[in-house]
Chain A
Amino acid sequence: MPISRRTARRAVATAAALAVFLPLSACGGDSGGGGAADASGKIEGSITFQTWNLQANFKPYFTGLIAEFEKKYPGTDVKWIDQPAEGYADKLSADAAGGTLPDVVNVSPDLLAPLAKAGLALDLDQAAAKYKKEYLPGAWAGHGIPGMEGTYAFPWYLNTGPLFYNKRLFREAGLDAEKPPTTYDELFAQSLRIAGKSKGRIATLANIPTIEDFGRYGVQLMNDEGTAFTFNDAKGVELLTKYKELYDAKALDPQALTATPESAGKKFLTQAVAMNPGSALDLEKFRKDAPALYDNIGITEQISSTGKDNMYVMGVMVNARTERTPAAVAFAHFVTDARHQMEFAKQVAIFPSTAGSLDDPYFTKEDGTDATRVRIAAAKSLKTAVNYTPVLMSDQMKTELRNAVARALQGKESPKEALDNAVRACDRLLKQS
């Protein structure tokens, strides 16, 4: 049957050719600077808005917000999509690579950087400069990308939190439960004491140091140009050496090398560790899930050698390839303007990034409750707080640092060697990005 064989061969050849060439044609996303589009014009049309794990708890707030926007701008239609917390970066990358990125997207600065570099985030310094003065200068600047001109997302909510500690565990170690550590030296000394008194059964910390911890300790994380990492300086080595002492004395939980923030939180909840960072939200969790811990809960400020606390920043970016730039920019601004940020802050323990909002009585006036005390302290610290995590530090780079820290704590490498290796690996990844 010569015809059928020929046909079959042709079919196979065609399939093979398609299979080889289609992937190349599918390679999407051109590199280059962020797009800048004209945001003037009539605000109308359908846009999509994607949030990061907010639907479960704040559905009424966002549906109300969207309805208000649609009423203010007749002819607009906002479709709200919410993604779970887990795998958010993967979802964004799939959307970005597939050309289906929503028009308005909730991002953190480290997620924003690769999107802006790929030209997918609108430069707001060009498209929406008139709104700049509404936000805290640091928050607006925090959405710039080192090595690129411009600002690529509207600042949204900020978050920070205190350090919680277990007064009972402090007392049992013979420490004054009303005088928690306020400096790193005190923290290390008290941690060793608690471990010693409990014969290694009670650790004080459950997490290995992260890049934010290095920042808070006063380590310079990157050079001024943002072209190389520098956390292997003497100060960085000093911090890691101290943590190694804690690890050897079991003052740092032995499972810290594989811990996640969630697992560390659980350890604190079960009173297996004495201190853990958190937010005002956690107080309610302690009260409900761990009443014995709640009765002994102590609240203190973050420990910092720089005098500046760490803060987490959220932003709202506009897809540079949206076909509805005026509506998308207007909506991103609407979500993040002072009034709506304030409304959102009253729904949940977050803090607005708009100028003057932190002076609202809601963030300054005591009412005698622990939750308010935590909120006021956090709002106060936010005025000088810093997002220590470099926006160019990708997940892969964070993994390199965690692995290097783990090798140093296990004694497989000296702290200096480990940090040198981590810096080399991060620099290599930075060059490839």
Chain B
Amino acid sequence: MTTPTTTAAAPSGSTAEGRAPKNPRTGGRPRDGRSRIRRHLPTSPWLFAAPGLLVAGAFSLYPFLSTVTNSFTDRRTLIAGRFVGLDNYREMLGDEMFWTGLRNSTLYVLGVVPALVVLPLLLALLVQKQIPGISFFRSAFYTPVVASIVVVGLIWVWLLDERGLVNAVLEAVGVGRVGFLSDQWLLLLSAMAVTVWKGLGYYMIIYLAALANVPRELHEAASVDGAGAVRRFLTVTLPAVRSTMVLVGALSSVAAFKVFSEVYLMAGPDGGPAGEDTTLVMLVQRTGTGLSGRAGYASAISVVVFVVTVALMLLVLRADRKEDA
């Protein structure tokens, strides 16, 4: 446990020096490595952590605090702001687009999270079996994860276009053309479908890791006791992966609430017809960027996004704890 670095960094005259036996070959420095470690503990961890702390401070903490302070100003892109108290937050309450954004972001969580908690688990159960060629399916399901969201978005826009493949098929079977990209609700649903489709593979991998840790003996014991596949899933698999489901729920709800790319690509920069598909993060982007951007107001919306995201995380974790109790 002793390291040359610790020894070399030892300052003289510390209180530990008086208690340690002196060694004539080392100029009186203590031989007991443990006491030397104890003596330098207060500063050494900070030194090791300093690079990480500096990066986190510069690129996370500072921008975060800057956003919070900006939210109380009327700062614009090119004009230094002045303190306006809670004016931005008050304006937000009367801003229809803010409520539209909050509604859409919340709907996104409600629509996407259950699907991303359940479907990847089912998919993982399917591909977990060691049968020939299964790795092909695993890779196929994972491919959308590594694909660029812009490419994925464009492909889906082509597919769902009024004259796209999906509408051609619907027309051929007599359903008629459906305005996936022109109807406010269908647009939001289409974007949710893309998010779920793209996220399936990622969460499937997390579930595969969790499933690999479920002891086979439990399944065997349940089978011996006469439990069928469904019963085994409910009584053995589900309890074993419950904490992973909570993790997936937390991760996907945070990601869903902060959705931007899918809706932006499919609904356009205005957020769909009359901006009705705008999400909160899209509103932050639209309000705060550009030469006339209202950085103060956009910061206030960002703070709300942060608070809701933290609340979502706490809610999921609390639900987990309650179940544990």
Contacts and interface: CB of A to CB of B under 8 A. Distances in A.
A22 interface: yes
A71 to B, nearest CB: 35
Contact of B182 (A1, A120, A258, A270): A258
Interface in A7-40: 8, 15-16, 18-20, 22-24, 26-31
Given A19-B62, A93-B290, A254-B162, A406 B268 contact: no
16 contacts: A19-B57, A19-B62, A23-B62, A23-B66, A23-B69, A27-B80, A29-B79, A31-B79, A114-B78, A118-B79, A258-B270, A394-B290, A399-B286, A403-B274, A404-B274, A410-B273
Nearest to B158: A266
Contact of B65 (A20, A97, A406, A412): A20
A402 interface: yes
B290 A396 contact: yes
A399 B270 contact: yes
B179 interface: yes
B162 A255 contact: yes
Contact of A3 (B42, B79, B161, B179): B42
A90 interface: yes
A20 to B, nearest CB: 6
Contacts of A19: 57, 61-62, 65-66
Interface of B: 42-43, 46, 57, 61-62, 65-66, 69-70, 73-81, 161-163, 179, 181-182, 187, 267-270, 272-275, 286-287, 289-294
A395 interface: yes
B77 A114 contact: yes
A345 interface: no
Contacts of B46: 8
Contacts of A369: none
B103 to A, nearest CB: 16
B44 to A, nearest CB: 11
Contacts of B74: 432
A96 interface: yes
A355 interface: no
Interface in A354-404: 394-396, 399, 402-404
A93 B293 contact: yes
Nearest to A117: B78
B273 A257 contact: yes
A57 interface: no
Please name the 5 residue pairs, one residue from A and one from B, whose CB atoms are nearest each other, closest first: A27-B80, A4-B42, A23-B66, A257-B273, A406-B274
Contact of A254 (B182, B272, B291): B182
A349 interface: no
B289 A27 contact: no
Interface string A392-433: 001110010011101100101000000000000000010011
A23 B70 contact: yes
B161 A114 contact: no
Contact of B270 (A8, A114, A403, A410): A403
Interface in A67-125: 89-90, 92-93, 96-97, 111, 114-115, 117-118, 120
Nearest to B42: A4
A403 B273 CA distance: 7
B78 A15 contact: no
B290 A90 contact: yes
Nearest to A25: B80
A406 B183 CA distance: 12
Interface residues of A, number: 54
Nearest to A89: B290
Contacts of B181: 255, 258
Classify the secondary structure of B's interface with A: loop
Given A258-B268, A403-B275, A406-B274, A396 B291 contact: no
A402 B42 CA distance: 60
B81 A27 contact: yes
A407 B293 CA distance: 24
Given A15-B61, A257-B273, 18 more contacts: A27-B73, A27-B75, A31-B79, A96-B77, A96-B78, A96-B291, A97-B78, A111-B291, A255-B161, A258-B270, A395-B292, A396-B287, A396-B292, A406-B270, A406-B273, A407-B274, A432-B76, A433-B76
A272 interface: yes
A338 to B, nearest CB: 30
Most buried by B among A18, A28, A257, A432: A257
B100 to A, nearest CB: 10
A207 to B, nearest CB: 12
Nearest to A92: B291
A260 interface: yes
A106 to B, nearest CB: 14
A325 to B, nearest CB: 20
A97 B128 CA distance: 53
A28 B80 CA distance: 5
A259 interface: yes
Contact of B66 (A22, A89, A96, A270): A22
A4 B44 CA distance: 11
Of B161, B270, B272, most buried by chain A (CB within 10 Å of CB) is: B270
B274 A24 contact: no
Contacts of B162: 253-255, 272
A267 B78 CA distance: 38
Given A15-B61, A260-B268, A93 B274 contact: no
Interface-centre pick from A15, A89, A255, A260 (highest chain B CB count, 10 A):
A255
Interface in A262-280: 263, 270, 272
A403 B100 CA distance: 13
Contacts of B163: 270, 272
B78 A24 contact: no
Interface string A337-355: 0000000000000000000
A18 to B, nearest CB: 8
A110 B46 CA distance: 50
A290 to B, nearest CB: 15
Contact of A394 (B79, B161, B291): B291
A328 B187 CA distance: 49
A330 to B, nearest CB: 26
A406 B144 CA distance: 33
Most buried by A among B81, B179, B182: B182
A288 B277 CA distance: 36
A4 B293 CA distance: 44
Contact of B273 (A3, A4, A258, A270): A258
Contacts of B286: 396, 399
Nearest to A418: B274
Nearest to A432: B294
A114 B292 CA distance: 6
Interface in A292-340: none
A1 B42 contact: yes
A97 B61 contact: no
